[in-house]
Chains A and B, each alone.
Chain A
Amino acid sequence: MAVLTDEQSMLRDQARAWTQDKAPVSAFRKMRDSGQALGYDPATFAEMAEMGWAGVIIPEAYGGSDFGYLSLGLILEETGRTLAASPLIASALAAASAIVLGGSDAQKQAWLPKIATGELVATLAVDEGARHAPEKTALSAVTSGAGYALTGGKSFVLEGMAAGLLVVAARTSGKAGETNGITLFLVPADAAGVSRTPLELADSRGAADIAFENVAVGPDAVLGQVDKGWALLEKTLDRARAGLAAEMLGSAQQAFDLTLDYLKTRVQFSQVIGGFQALQHRAAKMFGELELARSCVEAALAAIDADAPDAAELASLAKGHAGETLFLVSNELIQMHGGIGMTDAHDAGFYLKRARAAEAAFGGRAYHRDRFARLNGF
């Protein structure tokens, strides 16, 4: 655990107590079994927002607490532990970051206070194919009157059905694959020409495919600079990556704790299975990986708070390493539990499914190894 300020310690303790009490895994199971189409329980999210969790990275002038990314990461780690489903990642982390970083005062004034109170869910709409590839943005935005008309499609938009506001990456010039010519737009989800199709995912969270057909927006919908949106998009994605990595760290930590408990209680051959060295050494390996992952996640969040020059590299390191660790631990969670871990009645499957969905969002291990190599000049 990083050396925390008093405020951060309090925030973490509050988040831990609240998630264990109000949003345990059993609540996630209930939400899933109820067939809740949004992929989260709005009443639970409203409580989170009431505690200020949706405004942690939003400046005080716009209704937030401006506690920073390390603080938000502490909350996300706890929601990751219990798989507490909510739009925190999509709205309070990703979309809010884009507006805080790139918004005009009017845009901030219009959207951030509503995101902070939780009355509005916003989200990033970036990827268009099966895999994370922001530079391949093809959705076109052509000038139309004083504003623009957007045509194209976005896939795997987190909380796409719940969102009232979409932060859309569009191409205003150049061609897919080029980083120049990308512009971000703020598009209300109910704008004419926007149609949404819910995706039913293995992890039971909310996501949607979204089609844009000649969606007209005014010039005030442009977030940041026309054609020069790449840097803003990368900075936004890095914040999303580091924050999601914190959630993944929490999930991995909990999956490991569950496994360790099982190793200490399950008896075979007249002894607890945790006495077998073949399992002990795998447990030791997981423990080491978790320690390294925690260092990466905390360093990335701290670098973002400090606006450090290596924040991008550290965000890829954090997402990549948390992904590596969660992949390992979620598989061992199933394997070490044996048959019981394969049953739907056990929680193990929830962690495995969430692990892969989180892995795919904002770039997986392969994506971030490649990016880490690029950022290091090879």
Chain B
Amino acid sequence: MADFGAEADLAGFRAEARAWLEENFPPSLKGQPNIMMAMMEGLQADGDLALWKSRMGAKGWGTPTWPAEYGGGGLTPQQARVLQEEMARLEAFNPLMAGMGISMVGPTILDYGTEEQKRRHIPPIVKGEIRWCLGYSEPNAGSDLAALQTKCEDKGNHWRINGQKIWTSGAQWSDWCGMLVRTDPTARKHDGISFIMIDMKQPGIETRPIKLIAGASPFCETFFTDAQAEKGDMLGELNNGWTVGKRLLQHERASQTGGRFATTPPPPLQEIAKRYVGVDDKGRLDDPDLRPRLAAHLMHARAHGLTLARAAAESKAGAGNAASVLKNSATAMAQTRAELTIEIMGNRGLGWDGAGFSDDEVEAVRAWLSGKAMSIYGGSAEIQNNIIAKRILGLPDMTKSD
């Protein structure tokens, strides 16, 4: 049964959110979610973008459900959904999403941080002043993350860190890094790991961007040579980092389920298909093999959307194991869409650069290539299947990963 009191409150909040957004969202940024992608890849905010970022940061609405005492919006999940709907209505976007602070590090600090850590680290994330990256993978610790070797020693008044991380997303643009380090080399591999927060702006840390198949360099190799972290910057207890680190990955999966990021829906693929492929005299796509495959993809996309809505209604979304199902589903959907898009575009879906191709065509090619990473990062599709098999289905763990 509907709670009409709560419904009325929500309507009141909707009016408040709409008024505030109309007053504060710079119209010049309307309908430009691509700016967010550029910010993810290092674009510095200036002009209206900087203004929008500072206004949202001060209001705490970039982190709508975080506690107000640390600068967050203090909204209920229902209010946050209303806020998102109102932003979508204005074709606005969240300007604070760049880096890993909002989606992963922040929620984990709120889960495991001391009061002092929360007061120190949360407000700069809320305001977008500090950009975070994550030091997880190493050259010899990919899917088998717990094999990580980066060493962290207690030097009395600070921690000393030596080793190498890889696939550090946005390390070259980041101010701080949340990283997993080995603090007890003699313990069982999952038991000797700790979670350290470290200032990236120091001589002991060097980042080298890695150029990827799509042409951009969103990831780095990151080298630590006698780097220093403050004593108070260990998140969670010494040698309990695996637990903290796994929680952070749950937040990561939740952020990759396709439910939080998009504020503007992509153009319907069938319209692109009709434009490039043409239609027969009955209005059907003029390629009898492509047509049912496109339909199957759109049906999957619809099923995925309905599942996100159902998970939200049943309040089991967010940091849980169901996120593994949604991550794999979202990944398969996005990769299939990208493959279909370039297939539909034919030769024009192969453009790399230059005046011979439209922006949309070049973007389709780049997105197709960069999207291959989706089933690798954040726990590969195979790792998600291990998680589903073990934690949801209760099948035996043969990888001894936990």
Enumerate chain A interface residues (CB-CB to B < 8 A). 1-3, 5, 260, 263-264, 271-272, 274-277, 280-281, 283-285, 287-288, 291-296, 298-299, 317, 320-321, 366, 369-370, 372-374, 376-378
Contact = CB atoms under 8 A, between A and B. Distances in A.
A373 B294 contact: yes
A374 B270 CA distance: 11
5 contacts: A281-B385, A291-B307, A291-B322, A369-B296, A378-B279
A291 B306 CA distance: 10
Interface of B: 1, 268, 270, 273-274, 279, 283-285, 291-292, 294-296, 298-300, 302-304, 306-307, 309-310, 313-314, 322, 325, 328-329, 382, 384-386, 388-390, 392-396, 398-399
Contacts of A287: 325, 388, 392-393
Given A284-B393, A295-B306, A374 B292 contact: no
A3 B395 contact: no
A373 B285 contact: yes
Contacts of A317: 299, 302-303
Nearest to A256: B393
A295 B307 contact: yes
B307 A275 contact: no
- Judged by DSSP, the binding face of A is helix
B183 to A, nearest CB: 31
Contacts of A283: 388-389, 393, 395
Contact of B294 (A271, A280, A378): A378
Contact of B291 (A2, A284, A295, A373): A373
Contacts of A284: 384-386, 388-389, 393
Contacts of A264: 394-395
Shortest Cβ-Cβ A-B pairs, 4 listed: A280-B389, A284-B388, A295-B306, A284-B385
A271 B396 contact: yes
B325 to A, nearest CB: 5
B270 A376 contact: yes
A298 B310 contact: yes
Contacts, number: 119
A270 to B, nearest CB: 12
A275 B395 CA distance: 6
Contact of A285 (B1, B285, B385): B385
Q: Which of B1, B309, B389 has the most CB of A within 10 A?
A: B389
- Judged by DSSP, the binding face of B is helix
A318 to B, nearest CB: 9
A349 to B, nearest CB: 24
Contacts of B279: 378
Contacts of A298: 310
Given A284-B388, A284-B389, A374 B314 contact: no
A3 B294 CA distance: 31
B16 to A, nearest CB: 27
A87 B279 CA distance: 42
Contacts of A1: 314
B304 A292 contact: yes
Given A281-B389, A283-B395, A299 B295 contact: no
Contacts of B268: 376
A295 B294 contact: no
Contacts of B313: 2-3
Given A2-B310, A373-B294, 4 more contacts: A272-B396, A372-B298, A373-B270, A373-B295
Contacts of A295: 303, 306-307, 309-310
A376 B298 contact: yes
B324 to A, nearest CB: 8
A292 B300 CA distance: 8
Nearest to A371: B295
A325 B129 CA distance: 47
B273 to A, nearest CB: 7
Contacts of A260: 393, 395
